[in-house]
Structure 1
Amino acid sequence: MAFHPPHPYSSEFPQAYWLKLPEPLRDLRDRRFQFRKTFEIKEVPAHAELHVTADAKYCLYINGKFVHFGPARGFQSHWPFDRIDAAPYLRPGRNVIAALLYTFGIGNYTYSCAGEYGFLLSGSAGDADLSTNETWKGRIAPGYLFAVARGSGQYGFQEFFDFRQAQDNWFAPEYDDSDWTEDLSPYMRIAGAMPWHRFEERNLPLLTNYVIPAKERSSVSCHQPAADGWQPIRHIYYSYHADRFLWKSAPETGDTVVFRDGIAGQTVDFGEEVTGTLRFEIDHAEEGMILDYFTFECLKDGRPDIPEKETHPLTFYGGRLILRAGRNELELSVPWGFRHVALWIHGEGNGLSVKLSARVLRYPFDLRGKFDSSDPAFADIWQMCVRTQLCCSVDSYIDCPWRENAQWWGDALVQSQNTFRLAADDRLLARGLRLIGEQRTPNGLTYAMAPTVGHTCVLPDYSAMYLVTLWAHYFQTGRTDLYEELADSVDSILDYFRTEADLNGGLAPYDPRYWLFLDWCNTLFKQGTPTLLNLIWLWGLKQVRIVAGAAGDLARMARLDSEIEKLSGAIISKLYDPETRLLYDGLRPDGTPVDTHSPHAAALAVILDLLPEAHDVWTEQILLPLVRSNRGNPIQPSSYFMHYIFQALKLKGFRRDVADCIRRWWGEFVQSGCSTAPELFLEHSTPGSTSFCHAWSAHPILHLSEILLGVRQLETGWKKISFEPFLIPGLDVSGVVPTPLGDIRVGVAWHDGRAETRCEVPKGVVCEQGTRESR
């Protein structure tokens, strides 16, 4: 057995080698590899630190127990690794460490594929060196049908598994691995080899790792399975579509369903949205029996709420399990987002029993933020939004766990504000700023998410919002280190907008090379010279100028001051009608103004304190009619952009209207049975396309905290706050707002028609009693 002295190429993995296996076809799409090492220790050490990574993903097991799913998303040139203490999983004597390596083999909205793969580990347990080298064994994971259909174009694959080939408990200590590949040295690559030139810590805590059971069976179908439904397929929707299900509600509490008495299909509800890996425990199977499944978010009248059409939906995560006689167990390889699972068989069930659970893999927030209300409607909305934010926080902020798992950066601005009312934790925002700042177009724009191969997803408005998120990090923490580190990204964004505006009379135009998003609103003007794009750019300039000032960056301050003055003047002179005191929504390509006046532009202009003499007009004619309506505005903002509508109205003192709108509009989500906040309002939601867990819709976390708890941050790092709860007669509220300096505890209690308020602040926080006018 060869001894490997430390090499100079990686301080994080000084004696480790990337483990690989021969892949004759060089087809790495949706592949799985298994590695394991047996070792002896006399006693369990107090600590046994391991550095672990893989490209693309790994599941680590020690002595048969699941330890972690990783690594965090990143770029191969400085690939992330995880720091794990193995000691709690060890025992005196014989031990086994094992890993499932998963490769996407293609790029997606979470991963940029560099055409290589491998598993890498460095560390020891007592005297036992656990570093990956030829002392490990490996094999191509049997049982998986690889390169099946994508679950969505933005993320991963469906998962098909044949238990007849691979039900062997391969990660358990007692497993016999004598037929595995014993000499991996021909395939190993030294740490530091390309494309992983260097490594970086994830700078995030490890994901949660706990298992929850399914809550209940929701419905059954006693249909006759399609005669040819057993035939091989590669997209599970076509199996589902071939059967003619007769769904009917049949609720039954528990995590286990049984196929008998003519039942061919069943749906199972986890009770709320899950971000994690689905787990199967199957008993009383017959050899070769087929169990098909898919996950989904909404159930309607006992039927999975998905499109019923000949072609498959855009998003459809599921797969096929081919069973062997007796017991079968499987945990899926990568996490999905779902609430419900549909199961169906081909042929007689004969008592087949299926127990479902899920391993929850989320960011482990220290949830100190709280909100309690004597009005159940507000309390339920808060809890729904909290669940949404938790499900959309993993190794980064993600837009949704079901369809994409992507770190969309406009979403992240909202998510950071949600987070800061739940936990004084800026790490997801900080890591995201670094990742987004690294992936840019040659002319300076950041991609809308990173890492990604989504080259159609370059959004100039999200690049401008990147500047705002730099300010958001500074305002939360009081630190300017990230601004200083990412100054090159700031300059590249500024250069893009300045170049485009200089060619367009001082205003940023629609750029047909890229996707101008702004909002999911088809009637919002996005051609020519859009007003909203220029307001977002102005917002970015103003906020990053604040950070530059705090950092003492005099050169950029001067440049930003000049650009702010120039852009403000262009907006006022070309996009504002002084007679009506309204902002046009933009200029057509021929330079003529459009005749619409969106709530979007009015709200951003209020937030920017632009043209304060016009604020009353915008508020009375545009913003208040919007929130007092039932979403009948011809330019209706989505649930996402309502965040900025609410921000503007709060600034003008209309807190009652914001609270009432949240109670009505977000109350519809709760009343419809949503456990999490959907991507869009329900009338615009499309089954199989629209996410029903989208954190950009969870911003009532912030607004209820500011309005009803009355806590508003006034200075960076939470050094100063105002306490001014909006008093609704008879409404008792209490809560906690976490800060980097400690928790703020507040409450309002009504007695004999009078409100008693309290506010307790930690040391270092100055509390100012609010005096703003509220209506």
Structure 2
Amino acid sequence: MRPPFQSRPLPAPRAPLPFIWRDASLCAAPDTWTYFRKVFSWTPGRNGTSAYAGFAADPTARVWLNGHLALDRTMRFVTPHIPVETLDLSPFLIAGENVLVVLHHWWGVPTFQRSPGGRPGIALVWDCEQNNAATDATWSWRDADEFDPHPHQTIGHDGARRIRFPVLLDTRREAPGLHAPAGDNRPDWRPAVPVISEAWACPLRKETPVLTLDDYIPAARLISTGRITRTASTAALPDHEVGRRIRETLHHPDRGAGVPPATWHGHPAHDSDVARASLPVSVASPHAACFFCQTPADDAQRRPLPSIVLNVQRSVFDGAAVAASTYLTLDFARPVHGYLTLDIADAPAGAILEFGYGELATNPRDGAPLITSDGHFDPEFTCGSPFGDRVILRGGPQTVTLPEERTWRYLLVHRSDDNLATTVITRIACRASQHPVTQTGAFAILDSQFQIRAPRFGAALVRLCLDHARITMSDTYVDTPGREDAQWLEDIQYRARLAATWFGDTTLRQVTLRHAVEQQDPQTGLFRVFAPEDYQTSGCQFLDWGMTWIGLLHDDWQWTGQTTLLQRYYPALKKFLTALKHLTTADGLLTGENCLADNHGSQRLDHATGESGYESIPNTWYYGYLLQSAEIADALDESADAAEYRHRAARLRAAFRRFLTESQRPEPGGQKPEKTTTSALHSHDGSGLRTPDSGFWPLSSGLCSVAELWTSDAGPHAWGQAAVVNAIYHGLIPDRATARAMLAAAFPAPDGIPPQNSPIKRWNTPTTIYRALRVLSEHGLGPLAAAHLAVTYGSHLPDGPLPEYFLSGPERQPIDPTGSHGWAAVPLAWLHDTVLGVRYHHATPTTSARIVVKPHYAGWDAVSGTVVTPAGPVTVRIDWPARSLTVTGPGVPVVKRLTGEAPGLPPLSTAINSVKHLVTLDT
């Protein structure tokens, strides 16, 4: 487990920070690139023994010391809460003269996260008072003129304004000597100007270390190479239209085409098959690994490609077409996020490379291939337009790293100049930009019968989820890096849990907690669910998704056992719950207005027309988080508040009964049903409820379902998986038999997918799939949970990525009608806390810390794994037929219990602990 960040305590930054800029105006054109530089002396004895510095930039910058990269970019923020990065510069300092260089990038346009409300500038302070490297008027600046600035921001297909601009880089303009004390002999260096702005009024030291700087992910496979031809109009497109230029280019492959089609019949391929499922059969390598039948490769097995030589012929005109240059299409074997890096052994001066990025091999809207038989794809399909990068090379060997983050799985490279000489690329890699973590957690299915039914599904699923978990752990938990690139509260609670148990990291959870509080609306008391952002005046203040912040705070307390953050954030919690109290009706229910519920997976009231009524899903969340708030209040001796929160929860619970029904179902087409008696809907033999198609819904006992909506004219109506799952998860259906009947109706056998004519709407969000897997398992339906996971996620295996949240509905995303969020790795949390059953309980005034291991049977006869806890890693091995549960781990009490859910297994037997210092307690 990685040790906590911050190897030594550092003082809080003092405001104002010593910011500098090009001039006193604090203005710049969009997409402005600026170098700042400082030469300073360092004497180890006189300047102390430490070399820690604090660095801040608005909006972002990268830092070098003596040519060594120390920081790629700063953490996202919204003014005036500017983060201060802690840089350990000691590995790069030398006695005598040292050179600090900063490359600042000013966006200057509204983005998805923030408006241009900040001001451009940088600030650097040292914890050594005698050091003379702090930012001041002795620093110099000049234009970073190897970058061609332009105002053409990437705009998403939904109209969202992205952070990024296409990068237009000309390495011929790079000045040698920039990082040397003697300098680059450029005459245009000018003195920096100290500046002050309210945009930086609240500096704070960041909780997390700098993002990774030396994790290179090489390309794994060459898909295709060949020549390109362009029309004159395509060649004449503006420089920033890189993506469009690539899209309109014709590709003529000399390898990668003509591969025999793979055998694929809707089941895992065998070793004799020749293509990975996610690639069109015509471009798949004949030696491609089948991830269903082979153990997924780890990082060491993803070998880099050999050197690639791009031979480019001189251009000739053939009518309106521009004669061929060269292209290659690469597969990185997983989604990657970071900085495109190229090592070039030789190149002619003026060689032009264009880069297009792709994440998907098939169109989730219609299932059509996105990568064509010649290895071509549209680089603007996912992110928006204009999108793509261009580099013009200087002659000779060089290393090029584009300074803007990109996300891709597939990379399309064009060389579009007419020079006869060759460009030799020895490496094309992604230098990962992610939160530095080390994987400690693990999970494996050891069931040989399962392997026969679905070979390596478990390993492929875990690998895919881990890939996505890693790239979304950036400076915050990021939902869709490279597109929205936003942090939002809806599913962060479970992403934070898996980060803790798989990577031993909780610092990003603390970042999320702080970001939300910093932007809590002073008038409404509500949280912005995409914080930090200020792209709108008030942002997105959804009530229910904002409640997730309470779950994050409660989880952090349960992990640490400390009340420090509870005390710090309790005023914000109380303010938020006070706001919710004023948004409820007399019976304590939220109406659902200003809520998102299960997003596309739930039916909503028409609040725009004033439709009156209630929605069940937001109220289930409200109930559960009220009870957690009461526990937090108890921990802080706020007994009056705790009593109030429990009273509000009790009133809500009583009023919630209006959503529970066994007598009404919606008609096909979404029509509201007529008032119907229970007897009219029951079958004659009492075995179930009659559906619109004259089928029956099985009933084992009690109530059958939870309605999503209640209105005065129609009563309870609208049914969906999310409504059932959330009501059970938050404890509003305490009777186990009733809950099980509801789950069986909402998730019918064999895979939990309702039939096409079913009135049950499928779930949409990652929060719901985690909760569904958990409540199914906890109610004796673990094999159904595993089958549902397989059919839901299996369509994205072996490669992924997982689906995009904005592609909802079977008509838009036939491969996965749930339309769930991209990058949803939350099943990893279920594997640890439910299938392995490991949960940590911190010490209280009356109890000692303990680890509870209570696994649930998921149809896999033998499983094992390692789960990180605050006390250390815990390794679990379960053999269900033998009723054997073995636990090894830290020296804290362990409560172990095998549930009696596995069908056909013998009675529970006592499991013997394999480590003598573990204590097994009765339950």
Normalising by structure 2, we get a TM-score of: 0.74
Q: What is the aligned counterpart of 1:85 among 72, 75, 88? A: 88
Task: Give 2:652's match in structure 1, choosing from 559, 567, 570.
Answer: 567
Answer yes or no: is the 8 Å Cα contact 1:31–1:104 preserved in 2.
yes
Alignment of 1:36-51 (within 5 A): 36-41=37-42, 46-51=49-54
Contact 2:855 2:897 in 1 (8 A): no
Q: What's the counterpart of residue 729 of structure 2?
A: 607
* 2:866 counterpart (736, 740, 760): 736
- Aligned partner of 1:35 in structure 2 is 36
Matches within 5 A, 1:645-724: 645-671=772-798, 673-674=799-800, 697-713=824-840, 719-724=849-854
CA separation of 1:281 and 1:575: change in aligned 2, threshold 3 A: same
Among 771, 776, 780, the alignment partner of 1:644 is: 771
- Write the deviation string for residues 649-685 of structure 1: whole angstroms up to 9, x where unpaired: 12213222222332343233223x2266765799787
| Aligned residue identity for 1:318 | G
Q: 1:373 aligns with which of 445, 450, 454?
A: 445
Does structure 1 residue 619 correspond to structure 2 residue 743? yes
Contact 1:388 1:693 in 2 (8 A): no
Moved more, 61-70 or 608-617: 608-617
Cα distance, 1:712–1:14 mapped onto 2, change above 3 Å? closer
Which residue of 1 is the match for residue 546 of structure 2?
463
Query: Is residue 613 of structure 2 the alignment partner of residue 491 of structure 1?
Result: no
SS of residue in 2 equivalent to 1:17: coil
Quote the offset at 1:326 in angstroms. Answer: 4.1
C-alpha deviation, 1:626, in angstroms: 8.0
Aligned position for 1:293: 355
Q: Evaluate the alpha carbon distance shift between residue 501 and residue 237 of structure 1 in structure 2; reply closer, same or farther with a 3 A threshold.
A: same
Change (3 A) 1:23 1:256: farther
Task: State which of 610, 618, 623 in structure 2 corresponds to 1:538.
Answer: 623
**Residue equivalent to 2:263:** none
CA distance in 1, matches of 2:813, 2:662: 38
| Counterpart-to-counterpart distance in 1, 2:783 and 2:140 | 65
8 Å Cα contact 1:73-1:111 kept in structure 2 = no
Q: Which amino acid aligns with 1:451?
A: P
The structure number with the bigger radius of gyration is 2
Aligned twin of 1:184? 191
Which of the numbers 856, 881, 892 marks the counterpart of 1:764?
Answer: 892
What is the rounded CA distance, in whole Å, between the counterparts of 1:23 and 1:343 in structure 2?
42
Give the deviation of 1:389 after TM superposition: 1.0
Q: What SS does structure 2 have at the residue aligned with 1:431?
A: helix
Which position in structure 2 is the counterpart of 1:435?
Answer: 515
Deviation at residue 410 of structure 1 after TM alignment? 0.8
Determine the C-alpha separation between the residues in 1 that align with 2:836 and 2:808: 26
**What whole-Å deviation, never above 9, does each CA across 1:295-354 have from its counterpart, x for those lacking one?**
221235643786699x99636642222344445543222322222221223354642334
Residue of structure 1 equivalent to 2:293: none
Partner of 1:6: none
C-alpha distance in structure 1 between counterparts of 2:817 and 2:419, whole Å? 34
Counterpart pick for 1:592 among 696, 708, 714: 714
Residue 188 to residue 219, structure 1, CA distance change in 2 (3 Å): same
The letter for the 1-side match of 2:869 is T
User: Does 2:277 correspond to 1:272?
Assistant: no
Shift, 1:206, TM fit:
2.2
Name the stretch that deviates more: 435-444 or 725-734: 725-734
The one-letter amino acid paired with 2:551 is V
> Do 1:299 and 1:305's aligned partners in 2 also have CA atoms closer than 8 Å?
no
CA deviation digits over 1:351-410, x for unaligned, max 9?
A: 233442222121112432122333532122122212211111111111122212211111
Structure 2 partner of 1:405: 485
| Alpha-carbon distance between aligned partners in 2 of 1:264 and 1:693, rounded to the nearest angstrom | 38
Specify which of 557, 565, 584 is matched with residue 501 of structure 1.
584
- Hey, what does 1:229 align to over in structure 2? 234
One-letter amino acid of the counterpart of residue 167, structure 1: E
Cα 1:209–1:499 change in 2 (3 A) is same
How far apart are 1:452 and its partner, in Å? 0.8
Matches within 5 A, 1:472-491: 472-491=555-574
Q: Unpaired segments of 5 or more residues in structure 2?
A: 1-10, 258-282, 288-303, 313-323, 363-368, 664-677, 679-702, 904-923
- The structure-2 alpha-carbon separation of the partners of 1:342 and 1:206, relative to structure 1 and needing over 3 Å to count, comes to same
Cα drift, residue 88 of structure 1: 0.6
Distance in 1, Cα, partners of 2:500 & 2:554? 14
The answer to which of 551-560 and 477-486 deviates more is: 477-486
1:217 has 2:288 as partner = no
Question: Structure 1 residues 714, 95: closer, same or farther in 2, change over 3 A?
Answer: closer
2:570 and 2:822 mapped to 1: Cα distance? 28
Instruction: Choose 474-483 or 444-453, whichever is displaced more.
Output: 474-483
Contact 1:722 1:770 in 2 (8 A): no
CA distance in 1, matches of 2:389, 2:569: 42
Q: CA deviation at 1:174?
A: 6.1
- Residue of structure 1 in register with 2:22 after alignment: 21
Does the 8 Å CA contact 1:370/1:735 hold for their aligned counterparts?
A: yes
Do the aligned partners of 1:468 and 1:539 also contact (CA within 8 Å) in 2?
no
Return closer, same or farther for 1:391/1:349 CA change in 2, 3 Å cut-off.
farther
Closer/same/farther in 2, CA of residues 644 and 255 from structure 1, 3 Å limit: farther
Structure 1 position 54, deviation (Å): 0.9
Q: Does the aligned pair in 1 maintain the 2:783–2:857 contact within 8 Å?
A: no
| SS of match in other structure, 2:527 | coil
Q: Distance in 2 between matches of 1:479 and 1:176?
A: 51
Asked whether 1:352 is paired with 2:480, we answer: no
Q: Distance in 2 between matches of 1:154 and 1:340?
A: 23
Amino acid at match of 1:235: E
Question: Residue 102 of structure 2 corresponds to which residue in structure 1?
Answer: 99
The question of whether the paired residues in 1 share the 8 Å contact of 2:18 and 2:195 is answered with: yes
Distance 1:199 1:709, change over 3 A: same
**2:249 aligns to what?**
243
**1:495–1:729: structure 2 CA closer, same or farther, 3 Å change rule?**
closer
What is the Cα deviation at residue 165 of structure 1? 5.8
Q: Report the count of equivalent residues.
A: 754
Alpha-carbon separation, structure 2, partners of 1:165 and 1:266: 24
SS at match of 2:484: coil
1:61 to partner: Cα distance: 0.7
Query: What letter is aligned with 1:201?
Result: R
- Please state whether the residue corresponding to 1:596 is helix, strand or coil: strand
Correspondences of 1:129-208 after superposition (within 5 Å): 129-146=132-149, 147-150=151-154, 152=156, 153-163=160-170, 166-169=173-176, 171-173=178-180, 176-179=183-186, 183-185=190-192, 187-189=193-195, 193-208=197-212
Give the distance between the partners of 2:554 and 2:574, measured in 1 at CA: 15
SS in 1 for 2:490: helix
1 CA distance for matches of 2:208 and 2:819? Answer: 26
Offset, 1:617:
2.6
Quick check: 1:33–1:141 contact (8 Å CA) kept in 2? yes
Partner of 1:335: 405
Q: For the aligned residues, what is the CA RMSD?
A: 3.6
Whether contact under 8 Å (2:246, 2:379) holds in the other structure is no
CA shift in 2, pair 1:692/1:767, >3 Å: same
Q: Which deviates more from structure 2 when the two are superposed, residues 136-145 or residues 210-219? A: 210-219
Q: 1:685–1:423: structure 2 CA closer, same or farther, 3 Å change rule?
A: farther
- For 1:490 and 1:397, locate their aligned partners in 2 and report how far apart those are by CA, in whole Å: 21
Give the match for residue 3 of structure 1.
none
CA-to-aligned-CA distance 1:678-724 (integer Å, 9 cap, x gap):
6579978769x999996762122122223443324456799333324
Give 1:500 deviation, angstroms: 2.5
Structure 1: how far apart are the matches of 2:817 and 2:406?
15
Q: 1:180 to 1:436 in 2, by over 3 A?
A: farther
The residue matched to 2:240 in structure 1 has which SS? coil
Alpha-carbon distance, 1:263 to partner? 5.3
Q: Secondary structure at the match of 2:556?
A: helix
Preserved contact between residue 421 and residue 701 of structure 1 (Cα < 8 Å): no
